[in-house]
Amino acid sequence: MEIYSMSSNPIQKSPFGPAANDLAQYAHTSKKSRTEEEKTKEIVSERLRPRLQPPTAPSLLEKAVTSRPLTTYKSSSIRSILSAFPIKTLTDVPLDKLGYVLCNEKGQETVLRKLQHVHSPSTTPRVHLGFSCWFNFDLLAQRESDLGIICDFDSNMIATLDLMKKAILCSETREKFIELFWESLEKAEGFGGRLQDEEKFLNYDDFREKYLGRGWLKTEESFTKIQNMYREDQIIHRQLDICDKKAFGEIATWLRENDLQFDTLYSSNIPEWLHESSSSKAMYENLDGVISDQTAVLTAQKRFKNKGSPTLSLNVGIHSKVAYEIPARRLQPRTDLTRGSRKKILNFDDVP
């Protein structure tokens, strides 16, 4: 909130309307007698009195919502930081088979709303590290990130991201991007004319109707944000194994040497895939090594083991570990044939 006050400065204007401005200017520049000046000040005071309100303390919600940092960063310095990122790029990656493009995780809109109330570093660039594909762009647009690092273990995902980049840079509008991107996908093996999200498989018309009204494609402004980041080389794609200790050690060193911390980290539902793997310990250690106490961490898992769809969750400063709920148990009658007669007995089945 800006606080205004009247002073003797002849060029300072009142925020309370032209009438008050005229009177304030007149009160200062006039060569009238002291009595006339006092009368003028009384008139000004009388005019302004109904509008003057004592300043109020910001609410907890206002304190939680973080505005854009005052610090600005030149594109050249950002490119220099990204050029030093230890994981090198793959060139001319072929798209052999199309995998997931859209996010099939539930709770995307809910998590994005919660994320609006999470503080972000105000003295360093906002850096995002994420895995998989589409939802990373929602996060970059919503957080107004300065740097975006999108990774995946599968080279086909890197090829898909490269395909998206080309379509984004060649599109004047978000509608044109939808058209160009779909045309590019039609050439990919395994596409089949449909994309799966958290609800169902979408054809072109369904995809266009749904995704032009959400996330980073909701407005031209948010689409242009992503487009400009690519133009300024502020988004990079890297093939990265989330369990690679050496690679994550180098990333942690890169953060320290450049005085950076991740503003957001998105691991998708990868931890759930590795939950019973011997590599899960290395994965959590790697993630913990690059998460600061201000990092907003987004991950996804199913509520019940092997049942349902993964749901996104948001934590700050820590990556939660996969933990399934135990389904409620209820008595289920089943039929059992005993001595030639049908007899109902009680059987306990897990029912979520």
Q: Following DSSP, what letter does each residue of 191-230 receive, concatenated?
A: -TT-EE-SS-EE-HHHHHHHHTTSGGGSSHHHHHHHHHHH
pLDDT number for residue 132: 95
Q: Report if residue 292 sits inside a domain.
A: yes
pLDDT number for residue 255: 96
122 pLDDT band, cuts 50/70/90, is low
- The pLDDT of residue 65 is above 70: no
Q: Report if residue 21 sits inside a domain.
A: yes
Residues 140, 170: one domain?
yes
Q: Taking the CB of residue 156, how many other CB atoms lie within 10 A of it?
A: 19
pLDDT number for residue 43: 58
Which tens digit of pLDDT belongs to each residue from 215-264? 999 999 999 999 999 999 999 999 999 999 999 999 999 999 999 999 99
Which tens digit of pLDDT belongs to each residue from 36-59? 666 655 654 555 444 434 444 443
Residues 182, 307: one domain?
yes
Q: Enter the tokens of residue 109.
A: 């809109």
Q: What letter does residue 108 receive in the DSSP assignment?
A: H
Q: Report if residue 283 sits inside a domain.
A: yes
Residues 139, 36: one domain?
no
Q: Report if residue 327 sits inside a domain.
A: no
- The pLDDT of residue 4 is above 70: no
- Class of residue 301 by CB neighbours under 10 A (exposed 0-12, middle 13-18, buried 19+): buried
Residues 27, 127: one domain?
no
Determine the Cα angle at 71 with ends 147 and 252, to 5°.
40
Residues 85, 173: one domain?
yes
Q: Report if residue 331 sits inside a domain.
A: no
Residues 235, 147: one domain?
yes
Determine the Cα angle at 83 with ends 80 and 87, to 5°.
150
pLDDT number for residue 187: 84
Residues 92, 5: one domain?
no
Q: What is the tally of structural domains in the chain?
A: 2
Which tens digit of pLDDT belongs to each residue from 259-282? 999 999 999 999 999 988 898 999
Report the C-alpha gap between 237 and 250 in whole angstroms.
17
Q: Report if residue 238 sits inside a domain.
A: yes
pLDDT number for residue 217: 97
Residues 42, 82: one domain?
no
Strands (E) in 27-175, as ranges, are: 127-131, 147-152
- The pLDDT of residue 87 is above 90: yes
Q: Report if residue 337 sits inside a domain.
A: no
Q: Report if residue 68 sits inside a domain.
A: no
Residues 88, 47: one domain?
no
pTM for the whole thing?
0.72
Report the C-alpha gap between 155 and 52 in whole angstroms.
62
- The pLDDT of residue 30 is above 90: no
Decide: 27 and 17 in contact? Cβ < 8 Å: no
Average pLDDT, the chain: 79
% of the chain exceeding 70 in pLDDT: 71
Residues 25, 84: one domain?
no
CATH code: domain of residue 284: 3.40.50
Decide: 139 and 126 in contact? Cβ < 8 Å: no
- Class of residue 330 by CB neighbours under 10 A (exposed 0-12, middle 13-18, buried 19+): exposed
Q: Enter the tokens of residue 201.
A: 């498989």
pLDDT number for residue 334: 54
Which residue, among 244, 259, 268, has the nearest Cα to 319 in the 3D structure?
268
Grouping H, G, I as helix, E, B as strand and the rest as coil, residue 139 is helix
Instruction: Give me the residues paired with residue 336 across strands.
Output: 343
pLDDT number for residue 245: 97
Distances (CA, A) of 34 to 26, 41, 246, 296: 13, 11, 79, 61
The boundaries of the domain holding residue 30 are: 1-56
Residues 7, 107: one domain?
no
Residues 123, 4: one domain?
no
pLDDT number for residue 233: 94
Which tens digit of pLDDT belongs to each residue from 148-206? 999 999 999 999 999 999 999 999 999 999 999 999 998 887 788 889 887 789 999 99
Report the C-alpha gap between 301 and 310 in whole angstroms.
4
